Every structure is written in C-alpha cells, then in structure tokens.
Structure 1
Amino acid sequence: MGLRAFALLAICGSLIYFDFSTPKLAPLRSTLALTLSPVLWVASLPRHLSDASSYLDSRDQLAAENKLLRDRQFQLEAKLQKFEALEAENRRIRELLASAKNLQENVLITEIIAANQDPYRHQITLNKGARDQVYRGQALVDASGVMGQIIQVNPTTSVALLITDPDHGIPVEINRTGLQTIALGVGDGQALRLPFLPGNADIQKGDLLVSSALGGRFPAGYPVAQVFDIKHNPGEHFAEALAYPTAKLNQGRQALLVWSEDHSADSETIVSVPGAAPAEDDQPKKALPPRPISAAPSAGADKPAKPVKP
C-alpha cells in the first residue's frame, strides 16, 4: 500500500481513538466543524439551485395545467347547459308528437321565431307560411292545449294570435256538463274569461274547458283552459268565469299547426305565394285532402233559371 497510505491510516486511527477516549478533543472538533461550514454550504449550493429550479418549473407547470383545467371546465359547463336545453327541447318535441297522434288530424310542427313586444297584443311569429299551405284561421296548439290561430300568412312566415289576446274568442264547452260558450282573452297573458254564462249555469272551479266543434277552426275536444274563479253578479242575467289556459303560451319554441277536416286547398282563406306556383319539390310532403264533392246533383240543378221580373 505504500508508506504514505500507511501513515494516513495510522493518523486516522489515532484520531478516532483519541476522539472517543479523550473528551478534550471535542472543542477542537466543534471549532473545525464551524470553520468548515462555509465550505460545506458552497459544496451543497449546486444541489440547492437544482432543487429551486425544479420547484419553479413545477410551479409554472402546475399553474399552466390549472389554467387549462379551468378553461376546460368552463367549456364543459357551457356544453352541459346546452345539452340540458336540448334535452328539454327534445322532451317538448316528443310531447308535441304524442299530441299529434292524439289529434288524428293533419299537423305540422312549427317553430316560434318572434313574439310581439306590445304587452296588450299577444301575437307570435312562426317559421311556416304559405309555402307550407298555412292559411288564415288555422288552429295552433301545443302538447297541453290550444294556443291560438293564424291571422296573417306570408310566403315563409305567419303570425298567430294567442287565445289570451283581448281580441280573440274561441268556442268552448265545459267538459263535465257539455255546456257551450265563448272564451275571450283577458289581455294579461294569463287568463280567459267566459262572460256569457247563464246565471244558473252548472260550472265549478276546476272544470276543464275543451274546444268546441262550432266554427270548424279548432280541433274538437282539445283542452283550452281550466276554471279557477266564478262570479255571480246579482241582478244580472249572465254569470262570468275566469280560467287559466292549459297551453304553455310562454314556454317552449315549438307548436303544432292543425289542418281542419273541411279545409280544402282552393279555399279563399289560403294566401298564395306571389309569382309562379311552387315546384313539386317545394310542395309539403302531406298534401291536404280535397273537399269531398257529392255525386248526387242538387234538386233543380238541370232546370233553367226563371227570369226575374223587373
């Protein structure tokens, strides 16, 4: 091993022996440790710098990941809200389809694209018009009841008057008794009034009002409103009742256009599109059935008309 290595081992062994056997060397060891502490700090400085750099890198990376996750969460929450809206819309459309099956008439789903901002005019604009064979006076319903009727037809849009409008009236009958009357809009967007009830009319709170076949515009037997108040004014011949509409007039964006059974394509109420007639591809898939014509001639149809004397 050599003389130098042997001498160093001897010195180290002697120092170890005297360190454990002689307590007088403890102050010297403390002094040497204090003197050499800067050297130890300088020796450990690269390790501390490396740890600090790793900490800064990790902190910046965590901050970036945190921001990315927050943005992702915001996007997912927005999509979730949209999905909830789509789910509610699909539910309303399913209800409309189920209602269409119950109607047993030719119907067409339409979308509400605008509403009249005048608080005293309850009108809505639909995305179906004359190109879809919409006509004036056509009934508009939803999954819960009658909404109103068409009052204006444009080539691609139409305007409907809701049953709560003060200018709207609909023939109804009390479902429990069959009593027929007229329901008028109050104008507040929430109620209908029945002003022409006989004083002894059998009507109660909670009675369901359904559409009557009188007039032929609305599908018979479809819910219209439910009575919530009855007024008997003494000394008057008529009683008055108030009812809440069953249709969800201020909810949803879809409704059903209903074709009446006695409406024909050549009726005067149909508003034709200006210009040439639409092509076959533009015609609706469900054509309206023509009005039946009786095969038997009317009495006196073949006789010439007598001249009228002046």
Structure 2
Amino acid sequence: MSFILAASCAIALLFVDAQRPSPLQPMRDSFYEAVEPLFYGLAWPSQSIEELSNNLRFGLQLQAENEQLRQENLLLRSQVQKLSFLASDNARLRDLHDAASVLNSRVLISEIIGVDPDPDRHVLIINRGHGQGLYEGQPVLDSLGIFGRVIQSGKTTSRIMLITDRSHSVPVRINRNGIRAILSGTGNRTELRLQYVPEKSDIAVGDLLVTSGLGLDFPEGYPVAKVTAIHRQADDQFLRITASPVAALDRSRYVLALFEKPVGAQYLIRPEKMKAVPAPSEAPPAVVPVPAASPSTEVTNAPSP
C-alpha cells in the first residue's frame, strides 16, 4: 500500500515538473540560491591553491626574465661603451694619420702602453724601440703638437719624457715675431715656463710657441705651447711667462715618433763627443786632419796646432 502511495506521488511530481513553466521552479531556485554559497566555499580552497601556484610560477618566471633582461642590458651597455671607445680610438688614429700625411718627414705611430712609476717624473712608455729605429733624444708628437722626446730606447719599447717634466727644456720661438726663448717643464702637466725673455720683448697672451730648431733634437716649426700669462717684476730683467702645452698630454693614446733632425744638427757638438784640450805642457800634434762635414758626420772640436 505504501509503495503504491509513493509511486503515485512520484508520478504526480513528474507530471507537475513537466509543466512549462513548472510550478516547482520557484522552490528549486530558492533551494539553489540557499546552497550556492556552499559551492563557492567548496571551490575556494582549490581555486586559491591554483591561483597561488600560478602566481608563484609566473612570479619566478618574471624574476628570471627580469634577471635575464638585466644581464642583457648590462651586456649591451658594455658593448655600447666599447663601441664608443673604439669610435674615439679610431678618431684619434685618424687624427694621427692626418697629421702624419701633412708631414714631409718619416714618422712611426706608437702606442702608449705604460707610465713611469715615479710620480715626480712625467715619463711614459711606448711600444716601439731601437728595433724599429727609435733613438735617444728622438722627438715625439701627437696630432696637436710636440709631446716629448725619447730618453731611453730598448729593443721593443722606449721611455719618453713629456715636455712638462721638470728636467725637460726645448728651444722655441714666438710664431708671430720669431723671438727665441727656452721653454721648460714645471712638473705640472698643464703648465710650462718660458725663460730668458727680456722685459721689453713683444709677447702677448695667446701667442703660439713653436720649436726654433736650435737644439740637437727638435726640428723647426712644430707647435709646442700657447702663452697663458705674463708677469712683469720690477727688479727682474726677464719676464715671467707661463704657457700651456698644445699636445693632449693626458689624453693621447697614440703618438708619432719623428725621424727628422734640426737643420744643421750634424754640425753641433754633443758634450759626450768633445775631446779634452791638451795641457800646455803637452806638445800639440803637427797636423790634425779635419773630415769634411756631411749629413751623417758628427764634427768634433780639434785642438789648434
């Protein structure tokens, strides 16, 4: 009897549910809305875990990509710096080649590879030596002007003294009027001192000083410095004059070794070539042969008969 009653109820419910719209639809919707938060509550742990996992995975991936981009950026910046260095280096070489092309003398491009450890000396080391023909006293210049001279030459390297070294001097003249003087180093890379210029001399700030060719090493006409200051002292017959080098002493990486000697330098007497004058008690030689002067001959003093 109960079975028949249950079956009848079920059939009745199916019949009612089949109606459109169903009379049970409001009740079904109310029940669904009542249990809907339960569905969210059951799904939240798995969704949270998945979202956290994705965040961790994407976060680690972003960190890795960020680190990779940072390294690539560092590499690119270093490459840009290298390209900038190469561009400036090539520009310096072009300047040297341009300077060499206008010179009528033989030159040898050399690279500065070291600095003398003595802080009181302005001495650099270049990658050329007597194996390439360099010699002691040889003038060295950059694309702007006189740089210094060779003071010691090895087989493959040489030491060059800058014109600003305290022990360096070079005969110069004022390019504007030809007044001659001696330009000496002060130990300051930006300052030179012009010596033995009379107080009444015609000289002005900005005058260009060029080699006079009156020494044993530097040929005539190469720019050396520009006058920066002139001081007149009441009790001094000479002016106190300072000048600044035209060569880029603190920036040049390449220099030119100049194979040109001053006109008439072969006739000058180096101190080490001078012979001692015989004492009065010694009898002088009857005949002293004097060789004819030539560009490759060094003439020395001979005692008078």
Cα distance in structure 2, aligned partners of 1:293 and 1:11 = 129
1:11 counterpart (8, 12, 17): 17
Distance 1:187 1:18, change over 3 A: same
Q: Give the direction of change, closer, same or farther, for the CA distance of 1:245–1:36 in structure 2 (3 Å limit).
A: closer
CA distance in 2, matches of 1:19, 1:59: 47
Q: State the distance in 1 between where 2:169 and 2:250 align.
A: 19
Task: Identify the residue that residue 129 of structure 1 maps to in structure 2.
Answer: 129
Q: Does structure 1 residue 107 correspond to structure 2 residue 107?
A: yes
Q: How much has 1:175 moved relative to structure 2?
A: 0.8
Q: Which amino acid aligns with 2:240?
A: E
Contact 2:141 2:147 in 1 (8 A): yes
Instruction: Evaluate the alpha carbon distance shift between residue 228 and residue 44 of structure 1 in structure 2; reply closer, same or farther with a 3 A threshold.
Output: closer
CA distance in 2, matches of 1:15, 1:134: 112
Partner of 1:248: 248
Q: What is the CA–CA distance in structure 2 between the aligned matches of 1:5 and 1:116, rounded to whole Å?
A: 112
The residue type paired with residue 118 of structure 1 is D
Once the two structures are superposed, what CA deviation does each residue of 1:158-209 show, in whole Å capped at 9, x if it has no partner? 1111111111110111011111111011112221111200121110001011
Deviation digits for residues 225-246 of structure 1 (CA, Å, limit 9, x no counterpart): 0001112222332222110000
Stretch of structure 1 that moved more, 82-91 or 54-63: 54-63
Per the alignment, in what secondary structure is the counterpart of residue 72 of structure 1? helix
Report the counterpart of residue 195 of structure 1 in structure 2.
195
| d(CA) in 1 for partners of 2:11, 2:105 | 113
Equivalents in 2 of 1:244, 1:40: separation in Å? 85
Question: In structure 1, what is the equivalent of residue 34 of structure 2?
Answer: 34
Q: Unaligned stretches of 5+ in structure 1? A: 270-290, 295-307
User: 1:113 Cα deviation (Å)?
Assistant: 1.2
> What corresponds to 1:159 in structure 2?
159
Gaps of 5+ in 2: 1-9, 271-293, 298-304
Matched residues, percent identical?
35
Q: Determine the structure 1 residue equivalent to 2:83.
A: 83
The answer (yes or no) to whether the contact 1:210–1:224 under 8 Å persists in 2 is: yes
Taking structure 2 as the reference length, the TM-score comes to 0.75
Contact 1:216 1:260 in 2 (8 A): no
Q: Is the 8 A contact 1:130 1:156 kept in 2?
A: yes
SS of 1:197's equivalent in the other structure is: coil
Count of residue pairs the alignment pairs up:
262
d(CA) in 1 for partners of 2:169, 2:96: 24
Q: Distance in 2 between matches of 1:37 and 1:164?
A: 90
Q: Against the structure 1 CA distance between its residues 240 and 30, is the aligned structure 2 distance closer, same or farther, given a 3 Å change threshold?
A: same
Q: In the alignment, which residue of structure 1 is the partner of 2:66? A: 66
- Supply the RMSD in Å over aligned alpha carbons: 3.1
Match of 1:215 in 2: 215
2:160 is paired with a residue whose SS is: strand
